[in-house]
């Protein structure tokens, strides 16, 4: 079992088995995000896509989702959008 120091949880945890996607960002995630954090992101990502009706073939929607991923995983500062927030009528 491969271990990484997870940026999200700030401790050593089981790492991903492979890069989640090709390129430098995929490599960065592979080397510094735990399997647990990535699985949590995968669940949240689906909720965000559905709730905000994102179309990932539209560059702005794809970039917005990518920004949320970077914030969630601890690579960037910012606030994640709310999903299922009663204030928004969901």
First to last CA, the chain: 40
Task: Please provide the DSSP assignment of 30-56 as one string.
Answer: HHH-BHHHHHHHHHHHHHHHHHTT--T
Whether the pLDDT of residue 13 is over 80: the answer is yes
Say which DSSP state 15 is in.
B
Q: Is-contact 55 63, C-beta < 8 A?
A: no
Q: 3-79: CATH homologous superfamily?
A: Fe(II) trafficking protein YggX (1.10.3880.10)
DSSP assigned state of 88? G
Report the pLDDT value the prediction gives residue 89, as an integer from 0 to 100.
44
CA dihedral 41→43→46→52, nearest 10 degrees, is: -70
Residue corresponding to tokens 């995630």: 29
Per-residue pLDDT of 39-73, as tens digits, reads 999 999 999 999 999 999 999 999 999 999 999 99
pTM: 0.86
């Amino acid at each position: 079992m491969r271990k990484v120091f997870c940026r999200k949880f700030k401790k050593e945890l089981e790492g991903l088995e492979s890069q989640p996607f090709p390129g430098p960002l995929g490599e960065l995630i592979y080397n510094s995000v735990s399997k647990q954090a990535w699985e949590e992101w995968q669940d949240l990502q689906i909720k965000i896509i559905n709730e905000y009706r994102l179309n990932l073939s539209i560059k702005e929607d794809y970039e917005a989702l990518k920004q949320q991923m970077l914030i969630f995983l601890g690579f960037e500062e910012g606030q994640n959008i709310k999903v299922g927030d009663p204030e928004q009528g969901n």
